[in-house]
Amino acid sequence: MASSASTTLSSPFLRLELPSRTKKRSSSIIPVPSIRASVSEKPPLPAVSVTSPEPSKLPIRKIPGDCGFPVIGPLKDRQDYFYKQGRDEFFKSRIQKYQSTVFRTNMPPGPFLAPNPNVVVLLDAKTFPILFDNSKVDKRDVFTGTFMPSTQLTGGYRVLSYLDPSEPKHSLLKQLMFFLLKSRRAHVISEFHASYKDLFHELEANLAEAGKASFGDANDQAAFNFLARSLFNSNPADTKLGRDGPKIVQKWVLFQLGPILRLGLPQFLEESTIRSFRLPFSLIQKDYQRLYDFFYQSSGSVLDEAERLGITRDEACHNLLFATCFNSFGGMKLFFPNVLKWIGRAGVKLHARLAEEIRSAVRGAGGEITMAAMENMPLMKSVVYEAFRIDPPVPLQFGRAKRDLIIESHDHAFQVNIFYSGKWK
């Protein structure tokens, strides 16, 4: 890891996590947002805080659970999480065991990639919002959980997703991302329509010719084309990158998330490779350079704005690449097929109601799909939110406690103390 990531504190902090058992907003559950570092901005916090935990009217309960012995405990939990139980059963069984939605455990990858896999898990709507309270929780270097991928994969920089809002670069990089979105906002809907029209034409042609079609590969290409055209006014097929973008991105993401993914390989092979050491950047360096060159050549005006903000063109380009390929493309690769899956399973009645609502709203907007027209599609919006609730692209959220806290669930309060000399107070 590059020295730019050395701001991580050496003494371990509490890490808080929420899996994907979220519910609809109407049930007062907080939905998990898509992958991004878009926590609301607040003034930087003082370096030292001596605020005492807030008093609670609920009975204080000791946080149940046990992380076990070093190395042995994390390895056992990792086996349960990936192979013996799976993620959902891993959490469900511990809720039942401890009779609590708040408990201690270990999260992958553990030894030997994560120096401290110990976490306190939050599995209810009342505790979850604390993960977005910047006065209580630090989001520094926890984007991927209890470990952070090598910054070699991002040009040697800690990109925006790994920064806490209190860090000076966070607001500057976030401002740059909003500049990009604002400057290209007029092209998003039209390019989405063009890219996904091409997608469905390709699928229809493949079905007519071979009787079958792969939605996954075609969707990946459409998503990458849409993002490149709408945000950077560049068609990948007309550049040296060609149609290789999606495959390179998937390989690059694997190098970052491999330790926390189940790839379907034999257990001993996964455990002895991606769970035990980082894949060397040299294996993907040339491919990453191709991605970087594409974004550098396509981002002239945005890089000019970055220099005006005091960000080097190189750092800005790596951040633009990450935001586009990891955050945006990663979300679209997972979420768009999921929306279609859940709509398909819902049946003909929902299909008919959606078609009627959408066609009516578009006619009312003069035959154009606009943001105003979409505001008149409540069923469509409900379907999208419901798909996010059932199958969020980002199923887990992490944070470190900045100070001693009282966390309240629906029936108990829990005293959370930050680590002191490697042990709980």
Residues 186-245 pLDDT 10s: 999 999 999 999 999 999 999 999 999 989 999 999 999 999 999 999 999 999 999 999
pLDDT digits (tens, 9 = 90+) for 343-396: 999 999 999 999 999 999 999 999 999 999 999 999 999 999 999 999 888 889
Nearest to 292, CA basis, from 172, 155, 180, 170: 155
Per the confidence metrics, is the pTM higher than 0.75? yes
The predicted pLDDT at position 419 comes to: 59
Tell me, what's the pLDDT at 57? 83
Q: Is the pLDDT reported for residue 421 higher than 80? A: no
Distances, alpha carbon 276 to alpha carbons 73, 75, 265, 273, 334, in Å: 16, 11, 15, 5, 26
Question: Residues 281-307: what's their mean pLDDT?
Answer: 98
Provide the CA 132 distance to its chain's centre, in angstroms: 14
Indicate if the pLDDT at residue 171 is higher than 70: yes
Average pLDDT, the chain: 87
| Cis peptide bond upstream of 46, omega within 30 | no
Is the model more confident about 419 or about 287? 287
From CA 101, how far away is CA 124, in angstroms rounded? 6
pLDDT of residue 55: 60
Structural domain boundaries of the chain? 3-145+396-416, 175-186+195-333
| Average of per-residue pLDDT across 156-162 | 98
Query: Which tens digit of pLDDT belongs to each residue from 11-56?
Result: 233 444 444 444 433 333 333 333 333 333 444 444 444 444 556 6
pLDDT the model gives residue 335: 93
* pLDDT of the residue at 56: 66
Higher pLDDT pick, 315 / 24: 315
Q: Is the distance from CB of 116 to CB of 87 less than 8 angstroms?
A: no
For the residues 289-311, what does the mean pLDDT come to? 98
Among candidate residues 2, 64, 12, 37, the one with its CA nearest the CA of residue 326:
37
What pLDDT is stored for residue 227 in this prediction?
Answer: 98
Q: What is the pLDDT of residue 115?
A: 86
DSSP 27-62: GTPPPPPPSS--PPP-PPPPS---PPPPP-SSPB-P
* DSSP β-bridge partners for residue 104: 65, 120
pLDDT of residue 120: 95
Sign of the four-CA dihedral 205, 207, 212, 217: positive
pLDDT band per the 50, 70, 90 thresholds, residue 340: very high
267-281 pLDDT tens trace: 999 999 999 999 999
**If you average pLDDT over residues 290-314, what whole number do you get?**
98
72-113 pLDDT, tens digit per residue, is 999 999 999 999 999 999 999 999 999 999 999 999 999 889
pLDDT, residue 6, reads 28
What are the structure tokens assigned to 248, written together?
A: 């390179």
